[in-house]
Amino acid sequence: MASVQQLSAIKDAKVLMVGAGGIGCELLKTLALSGFQDIHIIDMDTIEVSNLNRQFLFRQSHVGQSKAKVARDAVLRFRPKINIKSYHANVKDSNFNVDFFKQFSVVLNGLDNLDARRHVNRLCLAADVPLVESGTTGFLGQVTVHIKGKTECYECQPKPAPKTYPVCTITSTPSKFVHCIVWAKDLLFAKLFGDKNQDNDLNVRSNDTATSSEHSEDIFEPRKDEDIQQYANRIYDHVFGHNIQTALSNEETWKNRNKPRPIYVKDVLSDEPIQQNGNVDKLLANDNLSSLSAMAYLGLKNPQDIWSLKENSRVFFAALKLFFSKRQKEIGNLTFDKDDPLAVEFVTAAANIRAASFNIPLHSLFEAKGIAGNIVHAVATTNAIIAGLIVIEAIKVLQNDAKNCRMTYCLQHPSRKMLLMPVEPFEPNKSCYVCSETPLLLEVNTNRAKLRDLVEKVVTSKLGMSLPLIAHGSGLLYEVGDDLGKDEVANYEANLEKVLSELPYAITGGTIITVEDLQQELVCNINIKHREEFDEEKEPDGMVLHGWTPAAPAAENNKEPTDNNGASTSSTSKPASADVMEADDDELSIVEPGVETLPAGGKKRKLSDVPNSEAPIDEKRAKKIPEENNVIVMLDDGNDDDITAS
């Protein structure tokens, strides 16, 4: 039974919810039933069919509509007297600024990406509004409380853990199915359907190809008088045949590895000429692009079946032909989307053909989609538990009862006979550049690096600033904003191409620059240290930033992926389904969202030394903390070679 004080705090509170998805639906319902009278919801997403199995406020008839608006309407049907305001918008929009956040008593996050979480964290700090964070993945969940000056902020500790693979592993020596997925999604799919001008290592995989005029050309450029089938055959033979054959010419590479086998069209489909497949032509008559499916006309109905090499090849050709015949206008601008059936079919087929070449076990479309699209099969009960914990902590915050706030972790298996593990909040990290305003140190060659490098490699990518301003003393070097005049924009654009030491207000060794985000109201100072040389392999950016919280390094593993009731349980400390981005010319980074880490030894200082307080969660359990809703998260259960997607 709630006390009078609690009821008063609840009734008077004005709450901002960010996110109306899996956690958000449960949270809005729990807030309404707990007596909250004034609730605002921000969510930019629309409802998809895949949401309906757990986001219970939505129905089939709501597909395509705003999540925030439908959630509001659904709750008002059983709590008609409370005030709920919905915003179908991005929380990073300029109208959701510090002044907007200041009107709320507490902010409750139910987001699914790190960038938005960091943004909300900074706005809450600037507005001095408490933030309750949350995340779930499968049976795991967490709720954390962030109060300015009293507890650590969301960015006091590193969040994502990057895993890098050398490009040569992806393109020449894959040993895991994740390598094949990365190759198919971020190299082959991007080369065929994305920006043709992007750097890509697929054309030739040998230094001795200049003697072959056929392979010195851009193999991915369609030739004159070449139909789609001929083009598809040529691409197939090049990437699965010629490139493998070329790689085999380097005997040194295969001394301690199993040699792959080149695969050509004639070897797989010699008994079934592809150009005579009439099913494709039937599908071409369908103008509904969203329903295009290579599986449909091939009679492949079960996405959990593992296709043979022949079936994968047929899907590859059919999907490629459909893209070029029915979606021609999109070619050149496409990026992989897990919700695009044709894209998923193409990537699955291409990855499986490559896997077959390298003697790697094939996977079903269901598994491949999970790996390629960051899919975790959500558990509605976990969302409900986490939503309840969010409300419990929010009520404590509203009563100014910070000493009794807890970070709570929902575990899949009991620890100390508990499935819910409460931990005292940690105090602010004094070296956090976000909440403690500690200066950063940047080592950079000021005679070689341009301002553009500083903006792209540090200010936006590492510091996560959306509307950055860079100043040296009283001199303004760069600014982004809608209120700038044409002359100002031109001036700042010109500065981007100048070397740091040649800027109007020169940046050299010993300089202190100020970097500010106008929307987040975040300001940090960066001390510049000139350095001549950098290790291209270890320091690919050509600059090193000290004082921020980079991702914790992930360990390598050597196990092959396995499956668990259709969910990917692949590889180790890296979820195979993690986002992949090209970091530089030498390696690909696989970002593992959602790995919470502790300092060495798993110890942190506490906000207070409360007698008989709960013992801190140990390091292995801390690594089980999910940070993303609907992403795969590394689990450390004592076996460094397992990763589970619940």
- pLDDT tens-digit readout, 508-531: 999 999 999 988 888 989 999 999
| Higher pLDDT, residue 497 or 461 | 497
Q: What is the mean pLDDT of the chain?
A: 79
Comparison of pLDDT for 216 and 371, the residue scoring more: 371
One-letter amino acid identity for 264? Y
Please give the average per-residue pLDDT across 68-78, as a whole number. Answer: 96
Whether 168 is a known active-site residue: answer: yes
For residue 600, give both structure tokens. Answer: 């060495």
Name the DSSP class of 261.
-
| Residue carrying structure tokens 């930019």 | 44
Longest CA pairwise span in the chain (Å): 85
The arithmetic mean of pLDDT across residues 390-400, rounded, is 95
d(CA 33, CA 37): 10
- Give the pLDDT score at 240: 94
* Topology of the domain covering 177-359: Arc Repressor Mutant, subunit A (1.10.10)
On the question of a common fold for 1-161+376-432+551-646 and 177-359, the answer reads no
String of b and e for 440-453 (b: at least 16 CB within 10 Å)? bebbbbbeebbbeb
d(CA 243, CA 265): 14
Single-letter residue type at 151? T
pTM of this structure:
0.64
pLDDT exceeding 70 applies to what percent of the chain? 76
**Model pLDDT for residues 455-483, shown as the tens digit of each residue:** 999 998 888 888 899 999 888 999 988 78
CB neighbours of residue 301 within 10 Å: 8
Per-residue pLDDT band for 202 (boundaries 50, 70, 90) equals low
**Burial label, 41 (beta-carbon count in 10 A; 0-12, 13-18, 19+):** buried
Q: Considering 124, 168, 405, 432, which one is annotated as catalytic?
A: 168
Segment 186-215 mean pLDDT: 63
pLDDT tier, 300 (very low <50, low <70, confident <90, very high otherwise): confident
- Note whether 40 and 48 are within 8 A (CB): no
Task: Report whether CATH 2.40.30.30 matches the domain 440-546.
Answer: no
Strand partners, 84: 39
Q: How many CA atoms lie within 13 A of 124 on its CB side?
A: 31
d(CA 348, CA 331): 19
- Which value, in Å, is the radius of gyration of the alpha carbons in the chain? 26
What is the mean pLDDT of the segment spanning 271-285? 50
- CATH superfamily of the 1-161+376-432+551-646 domain: NAD(P)-binding Rossmann-like Domain (3.40.50.720)
Report d(CA 477, CA 498) in Å as an integer: 11
pLDDT at 29: 97
Of 163-172, 178-187, 394-403, 436-445, where does mean pLDDT reach its minimum? Answer: 163-172
**pLDDT tens digits for range 82-129:** 999 999 999 999 899 999 999 999 999 998 888 899 999 999 999 999
According to the model, what pLDDT value does residue 201 have? 60
Output the pLDDT for position 509. 92
Q: For the chain, which residues make up each domain, given as ranges?
A: 1-161+376-432+551-646, 177-359, 440-546
Instruction: Name the one residue in this structure whose structure tokens are 């709720």.
Output: 143
